[in-house]
Amino acid sequence: MTEPNKQKDLDTLYALVFTSEAGAKVLADLENRFLEQPTWFPGDEASHGFHREGQNSVVRLIKERIKRART
């Protein structure tokens, strides 16, 4: 399988999983837990902000794959 086909296939799988009723609930929970929370507070270690942004990037990756699958 070529790389573009592999990406398209994975995008489709992400969309199938996360647009189902259960998957949409899980994605909403991930958004609430990570994207809707502050990534850093004054006085925190800088590493905390980097860690939180890493968590956010996973949720953004899921959403981007769903978007690509729909287009």
Q: Is the pLDDT of residue 1 over 70?
A: no
User: Given this model, what pLDDT does residue 63 score?
Assistant: 98
In order, the DSSP letters of 2-34 are -HHHHHHHHHHHHHHHHTSHHHHHHHHHHIIII
Q: What is the mean pLDDT of residues 36-57?
A: 94
- Spatial neighbors of 39 by CB under 8 A, at least 6 apart, are 49, 52, 53, 56
d(CA 57, CA 60): 5
The confidence score (pLDDT) of residue 3 equals: 82
Query: pLDDT value at position 4?
Result: 76
- Which residue type, as a one-letter code, is found at position 45? E
Q: What confidence score (pLDDT) does residue 20 get? A: 97
Q: What is the pLDDT of residues 2-45, one digit of tens each?
A: 787 999 999 999 999 999 999 999 999 999 999 999 999 999 99
